[in-house]
A and B are shown apart, each in its own frame.
Chain A
Amino acid sequence: MNVRPLRLLALLVLLASFAAATAQEFDWRRFEGSEIRFMMNRHPFTNWLEPLVPEFEALTGIDVNLEILPEDQFRQVRLLEVSSGAATLDGYMIMPGQVSAQYLGAGWVRYIDDLVADPSLTMPDLDLSDFFGGAIGTFEDDGQLFGLPLQIESSLLFYRADLVEAAGLEGPPATMEELMAYAAALSDEMVAGFAMRGRGAAATSQTVNLLYSFGGEWLDEEGKSALDSPESIAAHEFYAELMRNYGPPGPTNLHWAEVTSLYAQGQAAMIFDANVFRPIMEDPAQAIDVVRENTRYAPLPAGPAGSVPGVLVWGLSVNHASQNPEASWYFIQWALSKENQVRLALFGVPAARASAWANEEFQTRAPADWIEASMTSFENGQPYWNPPIIPVAEVRDAYGQAIVAALEGRDVAQALERAADEMDRIIQRTR
């Protein structure tokens, strides 16, 4: 008779510890039956991810709806949904370098530290230290995390080794002066010596690399526009001279698609654009033979302030209003797991995990000079390739007007002064 309660107690203790043990354990099927909706940019990452979603659904029993939109519309719709607090949106792709000033300022981000800290919600081998410092750094807000990076990218010089050799030159241009000299030597009637973007606002993500490398900045110490600084004027005069003399006709029309297809079709000897466009140059459907066989990669040539490219980081975040933050976090962890980052890298997208770059198969699949040039750029990179203010698009538009003016042969200093004034007005006007 006396034994019974004791036995019961023992049983309870046993049960409790068992329950505690199961609660501690990470279980992929814990949110079986949930449904989540992620808003995605039509980006190579999304192209890679889309066909793999059924794998995640089979693993977890969570239903995933990807809503994929082209980048401009993607940004608009995401802003509307996130700012309106739509609970039906569970997560989204985000580029903090572009919108973090706005999203953090408005309190729209869902910090994930509580999820990361809970071993029952986070897979054992998440390993945050595996992400490149520069990549995860853009998701840190005063020590708190609001997402994880999926890719890190930077712009590289793509150049044709055969043409460089034929012109009696050696290797890639290492400095801006050399870049000008190479472009001059490589341009003839059929082939533009050099091409990069020139289409107003769209060009600013590339010209900013020149701005930084010539020692320029977006803002001065007082928070005013520094687009009309002597360094910035020198950078844009260099850009205008390079493009007007050795670029393709109609440079104000060049977006990345025009730049990469010019090069892929053998119409440009060197281009400067995002390293993620490498697959285009290896695709027989898009690039002619001579381009596929002779393309080499190098980091941005050094200007007076060195080689300082901007790095772009895309990642995934949980929506602050999501009703399913745990299931969404599952999806993010899975999509950015070590294994999947290797697959992403093998797909041709620069993964945000160092382990993916160290993968042996990846190292044999991607050209060594592309890997080396990319990693050099990640090390030297500046995470803010956009002005660190809220009305980013409007400022890029104003700066873009100066780029068009420079390419059309108008006075560069004057155009930049006007852009700087406009930028100051925009900053002041946005409240």
Chain B
Amino acid sequence: MKTASSWIDRNARYLFPLPAILAIVVLIVAPVVTNFVLSLYDYFVGGRAFFVGLENYQRAATDPRVWNGIKNTFYFTFTAVPLQLLVGIGIAVLFNRDFPGKGLARTIILLPMVATPVAIALIWALMFNPSLGVMNYFLETLGLERSLWVAQSNLAIPSLVLVDTWQWSPMIALILLAAMQGVPSEHYEAARIDGASGWQSFWHITIPGIRSAIVVALILRAVDALKTFDIIYVITEGGPGTASETLNVLAFKTGFQFFHAGYAATLLIFLMFLVLGVAVLLNAVRKRT
């Protein structure tokens, strides 16, 4: 008994993290490695798998549909995330002051974030319907022209950005609100005594005070937006044609509809490096500030 317990004592630093390491290996490392191995095969699900080396990567690099997918992924992410940041800052500023019914309003504004994405997407798909949907009714009430929304190629991604912004701005607001409440109120008092306007104290006190929180929110949202699947797939399936087909949606179709598992795995490796690249870049920005 004694020897066993002393062995445990001596090796506690390896033993205690072991369950966590095992979980990481089983849930993260193993699938990534399997995915990489799969990407070296030409495997039509239901047929035989042929080892083809890097052929899938060669094909992906010259496949116009892959480039279209990468373009759409960036277009979607870098339109949606800045927009959400602006809306999120606005909401956070609003909730950083006291007004009656604040608690209730805060709960309501968080609802889009906690609702089921597929349910949200189905409702938006109905709302976007050019003939029967409520969005065109709103436009007409405002005296504007009816729109085709997701049914028109060049409006598909902007429409999806609208949904994503509606859904995720509250999360940015939540992160920034927490940061804002950490900015000491003395700073604002001093600024007021010095005669600073509201805009000046926002620009020179609030923003510098929450800068690192902004970067964190950006990283979280950007990484998530690059991988967005549910709302795009449910509302447009990547259409019309391939107008809103992101890399993730293309990989899904390739794997689960066209059943080319090897090629789909290759596309997912592309996506992984894309997400990794953006995350590393934003993290570098964070470290510099």
Binding site for B on A (CB under 8 A): 72, 76, 79-80, 83, 102, 106, 108, 192, 199-200, 248-253, 258, 261-262, 265, 267, 390-391, 393-394, 397, 400-401, 404-405, 407-408, 430-431
User: Other CB < 8 Å A-B pairs besides A248-B130, A251-B151, A252-B153, 4 of them?
Assistant: A250-B149, A253-B239, A262-B132, A431-B44
User: Any chain A CB within 8 A of the CB of B259?
Assistant: yes
In terms of DSSP, what is the predominant structure of the interface of chain B? loop
Tell me if A249 and B131 are in contact (CB < 8 A).
yes
Contact of B50 (CB < 8 Å), options: A192, A404, A431: A431
Which residues from A are CB-within-8-Å of B129? 250, 253, 258
A394 touches B45 (CB 8 A): no
User: Once bound together, how far apart are the Cα atoms of A397 and B239, in whole Å?
Assistant: 11
A106 with B46: CB separation less than 8 A: yes
Question: Which residues in B have some Cβ–Cβ distance to A below 8 Å?
Answer: 42, 44-48, 50, 128-132, 146, 148-153, 237, 239-242, 253, 256-260
Q: Which residues of B contact A108 (CB under 8 A)?
A: 46
Give the CA-CA distance A407 to B240 in the complex, in Å: 10
Which one of A249, A262, A394, A404 lies within 8 Å of B240 (CB-CB)? Answer: A404
Q: Specify which chain B residues have a CB less than 8 angstroms from the CB of A251 in the assembled complex.
A: 151
Chosen A-B contacts, 9 in total, with CB atoms closer than 8 Å, are: A76-B257, A199-B240, A200-B237, A249-B148, A250-B149, A250-B151, A390-B44, A393-B259, A394-B260
B132 interface neighbour in A83, A267, A405, Cβ under 8 Å: A267
Complex alpha-carbon distance, A106 and B48, angstroms: 10
A250 to B159 Cα, complex, angstroms: 14
B150 touches A253 (CB 8 A): yes
Separation of A265 and B129 alpha carbons in the complex (Å) = 13
Neighbouring A residues of B153 by C-beta, 8 Å: 252, 408
How many Å from the CB of B59 to the closest CB on chain A? Answer: 9
A430's partner among B44, B128, B152 (CB-CB below 8 A) is: B44
Q: When the two chains form their complex, are residues B131 and A262 in contact, meaning their CB atoms are under 8 A apart?
A: yes
Asked whether A72 and B257 contact (CB < 8 A) given A267-B131, A431-B50, the answer is yes
A267-B131, A393-B258, A393-B259 as given contacts; A252 in contact with B46, CB under 8 Å? no
Closest to A264 in B: B132
Chain A residues whose CB sits within 8 angstroms of the CB of B256 once the complex forms: 76
Determine which of A200, A391, A405, A408 lies in contact with B258 in the assembled complex, contact meaning CB atoms within 8 Å: A391
**A253–B151 CB distance below 8 A:** yes
CA distance A404 to B150 in the complex (A): 13
Closest to B240 in A: A252
A83-B45, A431-B50 known; A248-B241 Cβ under 8 A: no
For B50, the chain A residues whose CB sits under 8 A away are 431
- Give complex CA distance A405, B241 in Å: 7
Known pairs A393-B257, A431-B42; A200 contacts B240 (CB<8 A) = yes
Quick one: closest A residue to B255, CB to CB?
Answer: A76
Shortest CB distance A60–B (Å)? 33
Name the CB-closest residue of B to A265.
Answer: B132
Nearest chain A CB to B17 CB, angstrom units: 35
Whether A252 touches B131, Cβ cut-off 8 Å, given contacts A394-B258, A431-B47, is no
A106 to B259, CA, bound (A): 14
* Chain A residue at minimal CB-CB distance from B236: A253
Compute how far the CA of A102 lies from the CA of B46 in the bound complex, rounded to whole angstroms: 8
A303 to B153, CA, bound (A): 31
